[in-house]
Amino acid sequence: MTVVGPFGLSVRDHALETDVQAGLAAVEEGLIEATKSGVPFITEAAQHLVRAGGKRFRPLLVMLAAQFGDPHAPGVVPSAVVVELTHLATLYHDDVMDEADVRRGVPSANARWDNSVAVLTGDFLFARASHILADLGPEAVRVQAEAFERLVTGQILETAGPREGDDPIAHYLDVIAGKTGSLIAVAGRFGAMMSGADENVVDVLTQYGERIGTAFQLADDVLDIASDSHESGKTPGTDLREGIETLPVLRLRARAADGGSPEDLALCALLDGDLSDDARHAEALAGLRAHPALEEARRDTIRCADEARNVLAPLPDCAAKEALSYLCDSVVHRAG
């Protein structure tokens, strides 16, 4: 069994391993090329997060989905570059919104330069992604546009918060389906579509991407609470400090609202306070790490990963299907 890519996917088949490794290497070259500019400062800013590395989860999914058609078809690698460029662009913008200091183990672009540079660099990456996308045909443009609309809608819904009477957990799952699931669904769709796979295979891999994308984000939510910066590549409790209520916090509040213990209520009161204070933030983080709500969020992650695995059932048995199933395990392991 071989580990492929920074995400740590286990692959049993040598031919699949070779194809995926070659595809990811080509994507990396494409990312470097796509982020070059005639203005050296723009190149430096645009390549800041590219060179910091990352899991390349979305390109990996493109490569695996392409195995159900012709994995060497000319649109496969460019479509993976498009998806990753779009993802990188959203990270530049997210870090401005979250006032983040660290991303992928390096200073965020807004911390290294300023908010304006970070926002404009994100815009530059969106433009470069669109330029590549235009060569992939009108259907690819439509798919990407619809996903981008969902992504932005998810971000707006997160900012607005649930309406009165809405279930906060259901609202949050809708948010992350848009913010994260939509683009990962495109990765599955593009890989299958660009490889010439049958339409039913394209549909299955799109659904798989949506579900594993949700599991991926839930695992990130758990990591934000449970891990240190070395594991996650960003400052632990970033969402907590910014008042963004991810699933562990929502699970805690649900318990507190349903006849919670004095400890539940005390932790909620702490979260309602000023978490810009380092001592209060550390106390809240420690409280959540020890609370059953974190384990509930882990179980939610496992459930979503299992749903993704179940979606794969109609696909023919092959090394790529096995690898996609292992990918579900890898996502869950991150939240373990």
Evaluate whether 334 touches 221 at the Cβ level (below 8 Å): no
pLDDT at 125: 92
Domains of the chain (ranges plus CATH)? 13-334 (1.10.600.10)
Reported residue count of the chain is 336
Give the integer Cα–Cα distance in Å for 59 and 78. Answer: 10
Q: Considering the entire predicted model, what is its pTM? A: 0.88
Q: Is 233 helix (H, G, I), strand (E, B) or coil?
A: coil
- Per-residue pLDDT at 47: 82
In tens digits, the chain (336 residues) has pLDDT values of: 454 554 555 566 788 988 999 999 999 999 999 999 898 888 888 888 777 777 899 999 999 999 999 999 999 999 999 999 999 888 877 766 666 666 656 766 666 667 777 788 888 999 999 999 999 999 999 999 999 999 999 989 988 889 988 999 999 999 999 999 999 999 999 999 999 999 999 999 999 999 999 999 999 899 889 877 545 555 778 788 877 889 999 999 999 988 878 888 999 999 988 888 889 999 999 999 999 999 999 999 999 999 999 999 999 999 999 999 999 998 888 765
Nearest CA-CA partner of 17 in 323, 329, 327, 330: 323
Q: Where are the beta strands (DSSP E) in the chain?
A: 2-4, 9-11, 102-103, 106-107
Strand 106-107 vs strand 102-103: parallel, antiparallel, or unpaired?
Answer: antiparallel
Distance CA 24, CA 58 (A): 10
Report the SS3 class of residue 314. Answer: coil
Distances (CA, A) of 86 to 25, 55, 80, 90, 147: 18, 15, 10, 6, 11
Bridge partner list, 4 = 9
Q: Assess contact for 70 and 191: CB atoms under 8 A.
A: no
Asked if 94 contacts 71 with a C-beta cutoff of 8 angstroms, the reply is: no
Collapse the DSSP code of 9 into the 3-class scheme (helix H, G, I; strand E, B; otherwise coil) and give the result. Answer: strand
What pLDDT is attached to residue 14?
A: 83
- CA torsion, ordered 264, 295, 57, 208, to nearest 10 deg: -110
Say whether 61 sits in a helix, a strand or coil: helix
Full DSSP string of 97-155: HHT-SEETTEE-HHHHS-HHHHHHHHHHHHHHHHHHHHTT-HHHHHHHHHHHHHHHHHH
Name residues whose C-beta falls within 8 Å of residue 329's C-beta, 6 or more positions apart in sequence: 305
Query: What does the alpha-carbon distance between residue 297 and residue 230 come to, in Å, rounded to a whole number?
Result: 21
Give me the torsion for CA of 32, 33, 35, 41, rounded to 10°.
90
Distance CA 222, CA 295 (A): 9
* Alpha carbons 116 and 98: distance in angstroms, whole number: 14
* pLDDT at site 1: 41
Residue at 45: amino acid letter = A
**Cα-based distances in Å from 252 to 25, 27, 54:** 42, 41, 30
What integer pLDDT is reported at residue 3 of this predicted model? Answer: 45
